[in-house]
Amino acid sequence: MKLLRLSGRKVCERVKTKGKVWKGKHFNVRWLPGPPRNVSPAVSPAIYVGLITSAKLHKSAVKRNRMRRRCREALRITVASINTSLKTSYQLLLLPRSSSLSADFREILADARNFLSSIK
């Protein structure tokens, strides 16, 4: 399964307003089944991931970027280790929490694993 970027203001806003919410310990996820509207449906199933981090999380952009990278990498590793072929695409918006900066990476991996098991 591929991880692709979820891009575009309208696409992200649609997931943000109409998506289902999953709350984890180190990040929240808003998700919708199906590919984004700006992608042709003939593309093989994939997971489209976008990240939103507010300046309220941390003053430093470097640390906010580190939160983004850690959450995206945890999701990528988890998807690669599961090796299941999903029948549909998913759109995900990851919203890291400030605890994702100082948490052990295994805890973030556990959050990603719990999320993927809940959408099956």
Digit-coded pLDDT (tens) for 44-90: 788 999 999 999 999 999 999 999 999 999 999 999 888 666 778 89
In angstroms, the Cα distances linking 59 to 52, 56, 64, 69, 70 are 15, 7, 8, 17, 18
Domains in the chain, number: 1
Find out whether 74 and 106 touch, Cβ atoms under 8 Å. no
Residue 39 domain boundaries: 2-119
pTM: 0.88
Token reading at 57: 């999380």
The one-character DSSP state at 86 is -
**CATH at 109:** 3.30.230.10
pLDDT tens for each residue of 94-117? 999 999 999 999 999 999 999 999
Return d(Cα 29, Cα 115) in angstroms, integer. Answer: 8
Return d(Cα 120, Cα 118) in angstroms, integer. Answer: 6
3-state secondary structure of 27: strand
Sheet strands (E) in 1-120: 2-5, 20-23, 27-33, 46-51, 90-96
DSSP bridge pairs for 32: 91
What residues contact residue 94 under an 8 Å CB cut-off, 6+ apart? 27, 28, 29, 49, 50, 51, 52, 68, 71, 72, 75
Q: What is the model's pLDDT at position 71?
A: 95
